[in-house]
Amino acid sequence: MSIITSTEQDNVQIIQWDDGKANAVSAPLLQELNQALDQAERDKRVVLLVGRPGRFSAGFDLQVMGQGGTAMAELVVGGARLALRLMQFPTPVVMVCSGHSLAMGGLLLQVGDYRLGVSGDFKIGLNEVAIGMTMPWFGVEISRGRLQPSHFQRAVVNSEIYTPESALAAGFLDQVCAPEAIMEAAMRVSASLSQLNMAAHHATKLRVREQWAAAVRGGVRKDFGENALPL
């Protein structure tokens, strides 16, 4: 069963992410999602990344993370590569946080160009410390570059968990919508962004995020060595 469903609407590539469970960041997910992003890049379409109802992502696949060693390292580096790709993607990246988003899910939210969240009893944040994991260096640098300064240590060091509404102030989201209105709002944002000059958008994005991306790459190398991220 495919995890990713990719459809085109006007100038927007709608990439729906649904593994039927926690929407974990797994090796199959990374492969399918990167293939969908390849298509969006070839077609120069805005990316609209949407989670499954009630869940954007619970983070890395815990079965793999529990193995440690090479399997864990390859998955985490793959997640970091994905974050860097989205951070520097040549067209705008809009994300729909369709429910809970924790750990790597919370990190991915931070690298989108515009992030919409669905209102409701959902948890958004970085719960690594709460579950006994030291935040990887690359995750620290993603968060340092996007979260509001007053929330950076609360979210990363204290594992503070946010509602969709409080996630706005922290820097995880840009807009919160009712469930029945979120896809219409996301398409409206995507359509607006599709009118940008894409060459200017990409060049400006790279300038604005140059130091941020360099810090994230440096974090991966601190985590896994100098040859971990040849990007």
20 φ/ψ angles, rounded to the nearest 5 degrees? 80, 0
Residue 13 has pLDDT above 70, yes or no: yes
Query: Does the pLDDT of residue 231 top 60, yes or no?
Result: no
Confidence band of 1 (pLDDT split at 50, 70, 90):
confident
Both tokens of residue 81?
């590569």
**Beta pairing partners, 59:** 24
CATH architecture of residue range(s) 4-224: Alpha-Beta Complex (3.90)
Contacts of 80 (CB under 8 A, 6+ apart): 136, 138, 216, 219, 220, 229
pLDDT band at 228 (very low <50, low <70, confident <90, very high): low
CB 48 within 8 A of CB 16: no
Helices (H) and strands (E) in the chain, counts: 10, 12
Q: What is the mean pLDDT of residues 171-183?
A: 97
| Separation of alpha carbons 34 and 186, rounded Å | 21
Q: Residues 51, 49, 213, CA angle at the centre, nearest 5°? A: 115
The whole-angstrom separation of Cα 6 and Cα 128 is 30
Check: CB of residue 19 under 8 Å from CB of residue 26.
Answer: yes
Instruction: Give this prediction's pTM.
Output: 0.95
- Closest by CA position to 172, among listed 222, 114, 91, 86: 114
In 3-state terms the chain splits into helix, strand, coil percentages (rounded to 5) of 50, 20, 30
Summarised one tens digit per residue, pLDDT across range 49-67 is: 999 999 999 999 988 988 8
Confidence of residue 98 (pLDDT cuts 50, 70, 90): very high
